[in-house]
Amino acid sequence: MKQSTITAQFPCDIKTVWDIVVDNENYRWRSDLSKIVIIDENRFDEYTTSGFITHFRITAKEPYKEYRFAMENENMSGNWSGIFERHDGGTQITFTEEVQVKKAIMNLFVKGYLKKQQTKYIDNLKAAIEQQTNKR
């Protein structure tokens, strides 16, 4: 399995960050997605802007602490974990993805791809948090 971890800090309360990350009905802040289809309380499908589908199954959800899910698409399968912590008056998140690719050739670039996706997610999350906190 290939693994990639990213950590980021935000100057806001943990509830704000948690609420944005786990709210699959409000995904428009994600620049890489065209839609999310919620199947039930533990399963959802994400569609990229190019129509690529990834299936998710929530495996742990402890408010303001931990969010985990299993994921799979035609290229890979794996797990994602999000750890949320109060830090210096704000919030620190640590997101880790562990994936196994389905095509051996993908092993050459999957780690770079994961890091790029995680960086884009954090950039989008920062913008969503700024927008949310400016509304108050």
pLDDT, one tens digit per residue, over 34-69 is: 999 999 999 999 999 999 999 999 999 999 999 999
CATH topology of domain 2-24+60-134: Alpha-D-Glucose-1,6-Bisphosphate; Chain A, domain 4 (3.30.530)
Three-class secondary structure of residue 16 per DSSP = helix
Residue with tokens 């974990």: 81
Dihedral sign of CA atoms 79, 80, 84, 87 in order: positive
H-run or E-run covering 121: helix 110-134
> What residue segments make up the domains of the chain, in order of their start?
2-24+60-134
How many residues would you count in the chain?
136
Query: What 8-state DSSP symbol labels residue 74?
Result: S
pLDDT tens column, 61-114: 999 999 999 999 999 999 999 999 999 999 999 999 999 999 999 988 999 999
Gap between the Cα atoms of 56 and 64, Å rounded: 20
